[in-house]
Structure 1
Amino acid sequence: MKSAIMFLFTIVIGLSIFTVSKADINDNLVLALSFDTGNTIVDLSGQKNKITINGNPKWVDGHFGKALYFDGKSAVIAPYIPLKDKSFTVQLWVNPDMVGEQEIVFSQHDSSAANLSLHLRIYNTGIVRFGFYSNDLDSPANTIKKGEWHNLTFIFNSSEKLRKIYVDGNKVASDISVSAYLGAKGETKIGAWERPDKPEFYQSFNGIIDEVRVWLRPLKDEEILEGMNTKMAVEPVDKLVTTWANIKK
């Protein structure tokens, strides 16, 4: 009898630890787009950001469930997320067509001046850039390939000014930035870059984007892997104890 009670106690404790560890990754999650919520896009972070679509991106099969295909003339738009002087992480899956020389996957734009325009982009040479404007970090060439799924994770630690790029869970570039990102306004755009001094859809993305997430903290190495290997549930974080659904490849 005592052995049975101890066994059950161990199971309960184990499940409790599992639940907490799974929930921890939601700490400071401020944007989460899975593109699995039908013909509209819902922010699953619990922050209730209003999401709009510019152009006509198409729902297609994604890395997990459904995703959006961007045709170079479309964007998904969220409100300004206060990244100024803060630590943050942006993570997303991309499958690029690499039509243009350089294409934006995620951005905010305050002004065309140093450290005032966040632009996360890819090049047709396979380079991935983590840019603050006139203060950028690039991966080596051939880091990503046309027509293949890649997980991109961009991390900035404000206390250390440490900026890092991970591709498919592996760190491919890092530096000590001369400044934090300082943009204090500008919509958050997926697949495009808001530049009043440039034509609409300037350097916009061609290809598929899936599972876009933003945290106001730097993810740990194990969380990067957890994020890239899981998908968001279709209910907002504030309605679930655990929002991550394990996906077995």
Structure 2
Amino acid sequence: MTIRTLMTVFLIALNTAFSSAALDYLGDSDLVAWWTFEAGDGETARDRTDNNNNGVLKNGAAWTPDAGIGTALKLDGVDDYVDCGDAEILDISEHITLEAWIYPYAGPPGETWIIGKTHSSYALAFNPNSTAWFYVSGGGNNPRVPVPLGEWSHVVGTYNGSKMRVYLNGELDAMYSLSEPIKSSGQSLWIGRTRDAYFNGMIDEVRIYRRPLSEREVRAHYADGRSRLPKPAPVDRSELKGLARQVFDLGDKPATLKIESVESVATDVKVPANICLQFQMGGRLAVADGVVLTVAGPIQAPLAHIFEGPGRVVFDSRFVKEVYPQWWGAKADRKTDDTAAIQAAIDACHQGGRVFLPAGTYAVSRTIKLRNKTRLIGDQAVLRGIVKAMLQAPDPGVRTSGWRIRGLTLNGMDRKSSGVGMDYTKQSYSLVEDVRIRGFDKGILLDGGNEASMYNTFRKVSVAACNTAIEANNSSIGFGFYDCIIGNIGTAFLINTTNQFVISNTTIEGFDTGVDMRRGDTLHLNYLYFASGKTGIKIAKGVSECTILNPRFSQVPEQIVDEADDTLILDKEYMDHGTDQ
């Protein structure tokens, strides 16, 4: 056989294994690692670059032929993962891109890596809310994007030294500023796990670059991968029923689909953006157990019961801006248990839509779980019930962010219970305003867990008839309370561990202790008014850099008890309004 013939055979074999786009990937000198999972057997996930970052499949991680872009990696969500080692080339210090195709079956019980080292180094993560996060150097701002379950999605995170960007299916979805080097980590690079949770689904085409891909490159990679995914089987109209057949018949032209009676949805259906669902009075969709109805277009509906059944409804927030619990049968009559209806409305807005509660009293029998970017807005709406926590993340052990809560009253009915009004464990970057909280053991619990709860703002919040109004524990960072009213309380603010904590223009009346600071630093108490209480402010030795500006006291025998070394009281001749000296 001649050299020319051998070369021809080699090129044919090479082109069989890789597309022309794949050859372009290998030609990039900044491509640090690339796992295609094309081996199909054995326990080694080969790195297609020359850097030999080969991974080892652990605990039954499986090859799945013809499921993704060729063969994909299937992980069971229990203990499967790939260990890619800790080679020096994986310690990237300046710019980076993390890229993968993922097909999640379900959200993990806790946050897990798609691929990554640690929060403080770099990672592309996936959490129980079906949201992908991008971490660099433990930065406080982590761009994130909702990812659908049960289908392939292309997720990319890039960092250029000043901006973090996250792309979903070729489109820029989130961006945050960060200017610091990527921290080195001696931990192994893992695909599909963290120390506490594992990815449940399939992963394919994982790449790491030591440069940020451009938006044009990300789109090209998405287009290349999408062209090589398995093509869906042709739809047989004769096998479709009900809503699925109606959607099929309308095709891809703009149309309105009227729902005039009760119609069953027995299989997963996606209503595309070109179809507007228009509900007539009495029109209703009954979604069967295990079925997902995805509404990716606009909806027109009265404030009435239009969804029923145990199945799930999911909205695209680009078209459905506001969702009502009444669509799932909420009555707001103080008697009917509205918990399931409120929860269904929140779950339907997993991409960040707004859940609006019209005026009324909603009986609640169990904790309402808020997801990332949940916006819960009320118009003189009351949530009432004896529960462990009225509002909380789906898993308090996993970080969530972006809540917006306004115009609600949370009534726990009994301060002798162990209930919490708002549980802010590991919640960050949220805003609460014009909210009243009554009748709990703790009105608001701020807790960073083993990480941090960061940069949450509370404005015009009223807390009364609670043993503790606000309790801050475990690295609660950057909290601010402004223009609040606290009354009829045991302790208004119990600060166990925190920093960058601000309380401003707030009235505390009828209390045992106003502000009890036990440990923390950089605390600011500005223009606080204390009335009819025992001890206004207590500052323990474990507190540093506390500043108190213009406090006022009325009928408070112990105004300031200070055991710290560096407390700064500005305007120490604070005004006394009736205290017996």
The answer, yes or no, to whether TM exceeds 0.5 is yes
Matched with 1:215 is 209
- Quote the RMSD (CA, aligned, Å): 2.6
SS at structure 1 position matched to 2:217: helix
CA distance in 2: counterparts of 1:135 and 1:164, whole angstroms? 14
Gapped regions of structure 1 (runs ≥ 5): 1-17, 110-114, 196-201, 232-245
Measured against aligned partners, the alpha-carbon deviations of 1:125-160 in whole angstroms (never above 9, x if no partner) come to 3322112336341325xx2111111000010112xx
Matched with 1:123 is 127
SS at structure 1 position matched to 2:142: strand
Matched with 1:190 is 191
Query: Which residue, out of 45, 58, 61, partners 1:41?
Result: 45
SS at structure 1 position matched to 2:24: helix
Asked if the contact 1:104–1:122 (Cα under 8 Å) also holds between the matched residues in 2, the reply is: yes
Matched length: 201
CA distance in 2: counterparts of 1:184 and 1:122, whole angstroms? 20
TM-superposed CA distance for 1:229, in Å, is 3.2
CA distance in 2: counterparts of 1:211 and 1:230, whole angstroms? 11
Asked if the contact 1:103–1:206 (Cα under 8 Å) also holds between the matched residues in 2, the reply is: no
- Corresponding position: 1:148 with 2:157: no
Matched with 1:14 is none
Query: Which residue, out of 90, 93, 110, partners 1:85?
Result: 93
Query: TM-score, length-normalised on structure 2?
Result: 0.32
Asked if the contact 1:163–1:175 (Cα under 8 Å) also holds between the matched residues in 2, the reply is: yes
Query: TM-score, length-normalised on structure 1?
Result: 0.71
SS at structure 1 position matched to 2:90: coil
Amino acid at match of 2:31: L
TM-superposed CA distance for 1:117, in Å, is 4.0
5 Å-filtered alignment, 1:140-179, equals 143-158=146-161, 161-179=162-180
TM-superposed CA distance for 1:223, in Å, is 1.4
Shift in CA distance, 211/23, structure 1 to aligned 2, threshold 3 Å:
closer
Asked if the contact 1:135–1:178 (Cα under 8 Å) also holds between the matched residues in 2, the reply is: no
Q: Which moved more, 1:53-62 or 1:178-187?
A: 178-187
Q: Which runs of 4+ in 1 moved over 6 A?
A: none
Amino acid at match of 1:127: T
**Which has the higher relative contact order, 1 or 2, with Cα contacts under 8 A spaced 6 or more apart?**
1
Asked if the contact 1:82–1:184 (Cα under 8 Å) also holds between the matched residues in 2, the reply is: no
Matched with 1:74 is 80
CA distance in 1: counterparts of 2:76 and 2:201, whole angstroms? 7
The structure carrying a bigger strand percent of its residues is: 2
Asked if the contact 1:151–1:168 (Cα under 8 Å) also holds between the matched residues in 2, the reply is: yes
Measured against aligned partners, the alpha-carbon deviations of 1:71-103 in whole angstroms (never above 9, x if no partner) come to 121111212243442201111000012242433
Shift in CA distance, 152/25, structure 1 to aligned 2, threshold 3 Å:
farther
CA distance in 2: counterparts of 1:116 and 1:23, whole angstroms? 28
Gapped regions of structure 2 (runs ≥ 5): 1-19, 232-581
Query: Which residue, out of 64, 67, 78, partners 2:69?
Result: 64
Amino acid at match of 1:108: K
Asked if the contact 1:87–1:216 (Cα under 8 Å) also holds between the matched residues in 2, the reply is: yes
Amino acid at match of 1:33: W
Asked if the contact 2:72–2:204 (Cα under 8 Å) also holds between the matched residues in 1, the reply is: yes
Amino acid at match of 1:74: D
Amino acid at match of 1:66: T
Shift in CA distance, 146/247, structure 1 to aligned 2, threshold 3 Å:
closer
Asked if the contact 1:84–1:184 (Cα under 8 Å) also holds between the matched residues in 2, the reply is: no
SS at structure 1 position matched to 2:38: coil
SS at structure 2 position matched to 1:137: coil
5 Å-filtered alignment, 1:10-49, equals 22=24, 26-39=28-41, 40-49=44-53
- Corresponding position: 1:205 with 2:221: no
SS at structure 1 position matched to 2:134: strand
- Corresponding position: 1:180 with 2:181: yes
Matched with 1:243 is none
CA distance in 2: counterparts of 1:182 and 1:97, whole angstroms? 32
Shift in CA distance, 50/126, structure 1 to aligned 2, threshold 3 Å:
closer
SS at structure 2 position matched to 1:230: helix
CA distance in 2: counterparts of 1:103 and 1:84, whole angstroms? 20
Shift in CA distance, 46/96, structure 1 to aligned 2, threshold 3 Å:
same
